[in-house]
Structure 1
């Protein structure tokens, strides 16, 4: 059974009442970007960046620079109290770096992605019959259902990190009547943060930085997933056309096979373009995910408190889910693009003209190499690579654990 079929029973998203368009498939990623003032794409001449978005973008970038400066400043003026605090600092900086790399990849490749999205818009089904053959509603439900799983899991953990200090201090205040000021992240400010207005300012700026980075993170990830899945849907529709091919006459049959070849070449080109934009960020994401998983393991074995255990356990789950969905979409892409050749061999070619049959061999030969995503050309992304990532992370974790035991940490 193919990968997608395993998830069909999980679909719980209600079918949209209005007629779908290409923008509906991208409402989730663009909503994250828009919320933090980022405007990377213009669907038409009326889709412009507003003054409010420019203001929000300026404020959020200034705040990120401010927060990153004092986070790095911590290494120069302070010392880690324990291994737990050190791994916690590296987890935070890894998450931030991952979000930046993802967004920078999109910014650098925005012209390529603009071409990809506009092309997918031209390939979008135009009438009810095409929508039905395209399985548009099912595809819309599928991608939004799984996007929501990734988004909700991420936000749950993100808000847990950002609000946890307030909850912890509040619980302690109830028992001891003493309020201990805590901040979400480990930074070293060159000023006293104990005065209440200053403490509130620092907490708000850190909360804002975490929120913005989460939007960067989710905006880039959902953009990748939705774009790859739109290509997957087009491959499925192409297979549908091939399977339901009925030979008529030589001219019409040749026109059909020519259109199929052109569409197949175009879809492979779109998949390659998406891979060119995201391959570096996928590689960095793999490397950072391994480090995150290992460091979370360190947090657990060094005897973290229960609240910290829950917090970093959730971090581990969120990081794993994100990598899993990238691998899932790449696997779907490989399966659907490879099925084009099977569809060509299974159509009623034996009823067509001999010249058509000869042309068909070329089409089958071109379909033997499936489209896929890569981690900067080092390896292909698939469910197998997801399994390898988890295995590699576990091996690093056991090695680090043995080193820590030998060192008495």
Structure 2
């Protein structure tokens, strides 16, 4: 059997997510608060010119009643500007965010001293996180965002290689605030804007990879904590003496209480963000569908973008539903752990309270009101389609 290596801290285990959180200024280190404020302000200044140009073009399009162009711009610039809210939110929630990472680091350190059967469960959970919550999510974000610059580069290379009068393509087609429409393709304006928008695309990837991936990792770790203390409860009932059994069960109860506090930290850290993406995603899906069906031509970039948008709201709903299901499943696992073989009344009472508490599902909510689960995901899609049909009419 392959030897399981020691479990490392959060930043060493999930290098991609940690790196994206650091360079995106959402890593919740209270010691770097002042640096984070200055850096976020500098980033906002760096994207102000392109944002201003887009808003000017939106205004001109509104005057001309060109709603397709308005939606085309808002589909891209809305999530881009909204992503900077994550930096502000994490700055506000840096204390609870850091407590989440500290709890994960504390757990990984304690897992190194556990028996091999526990370590295999932890190792499988970490591998799952690395494969799906980290790598697959990063690939999804890169695929959705970098499709725009990659297609623009490919079309420019093809046109300049095989056409005598090549057509230039921008990453995101944007009119100059003055002059003729074709002036945007003149040098060096075109080259400067191309590099500038490529820089914005990189910021896009960074802002959506780190923070959103962090949420998935925290939920999966909560599920891991529940799985481990249910396993520990089974082992506690097989103890050789009453004193040892009581000590082990008390340890399980303490871990159960730590799990509840940990989930409260997740709720406190992410509930505002979940509410924002709930509203923004419905608008985004509606806008993408409208642009694809009512735009000037079928655009592969926006088809990929709408798929990424749906995945972006699906994953929080899926993770939250997983947490809810696992929290209820712990009651069944504890009940099926052969506790009836123990005749000690005090231990039976402890089991009773553990089961009763586990029967209350753990839920992640947006704005502390709307429960995130798969029913909400279906409702979001239905509402988005209703908004789309209203917009078309």
The TM-score, its normalising length taken from structure 2, stands at 0.85
1:250 matches 2:247: no
Unaligned runs of 5+ in 1: 1-14, 404-409
1:146 matches 2:132: yes
Once the two structures are superposed, the pairs formed by residues 220-235 of structure 1 within 5 Å of their partners are 220-235=211-226
Aligned to 2:92: 108
Instruction: Classify the secondary structure of the residue corresponding to 2:83.
Output: helix
Instruction: Pick one of 358, 363, 386 that aligns with 2:377.
Output: 386
Once the two structures are superposed, the pairs formed by residues 79-94 of structure 1 within 5 Å of their partners are 79=62, 82-94=66-78
Instruction: Pick one of 29, 50, 73 that aligns with 2:17.
Output: 29
The TM-score, its normalising length taken from structure 1, stands at 0.82
Q: Does the 8 Å contact 1:16/1:137 carry over to 2? A: no
Aligned to 1:20: 7
The 2-side partners of 1:290 and 1:154 are apart by 18
Aligned to 1:339: 329
Instruction: Pick one of 88, 93, 101 that aligns with 1:117.
Output: 101
1:325 matches 2:308: no
Alignment deviations for residues 334-383 of structure 1 (CA, whole Å, 9 cap, x no partner)? 12222222222122322331121122212222212122211112221112
Aligned to 1:290: 282
The 2-side partners of 1:179 and 1:302 are apart by 24
The 1-side partners of 2:9 and 2:374 are apart by 28
Q: Does the 8 Å contact 2:26/2:87 carry over to 1? A: no
Once the two structures are superposed, the pairs formed by residues 5-404 of structure 1 within 5 Å of their partners are 18-23=5-10, 24-36=12-24, 38=25, 40-41=27-28, 60-76=43-59, 79=62, 82-124=66-108, 125-127=111-113, 129=115, 132-133=118-119, 135-147=121-133, 148-173=135-160, 174-175=162-163, 177-180=165-168, 182-184=170-172, 186=174, 195-245=186-236, 246-306=238-298, 308=299, 310-352=300-342, 353-401=344-392, 403=393
Instruction: Classify the secondary structure of the residue corresponding to 1:184.
Output: coil
Q: Higher relative CO (CA 8 A, sep ≥ 6), structure 1 or 2?
A: 1
Q: Shift of residue 189 of structure 1? A: 5.2
Q: Shift of residue 212 of structure 1? A: 0.8
Q: Shift of residue 120 of structure 1? A: 1.9
Alignment deviations for residues 265-322 of structure 1 (CA, whole Å, 9 cap, x no partner)? 111111111111111111211211111111111112215423x2x1111001111112
The 2-side partners of 1:361 and 1:18 are apart by 37
Unaligned runs of 5+ in 2: none
Q: Does the 8 Å contact 2:29/2:94 carry over to 1? A: no
Q: Does the 8 Å contact 1:238/1:340 carry over to 2? A: no
Change (3 A) 1:240 1:175: same
- CA RMSD across the alignment: 3.1
The 2-side partners of 1:130 and 1:17 are apart by 8
Equivalenced residue count is 380
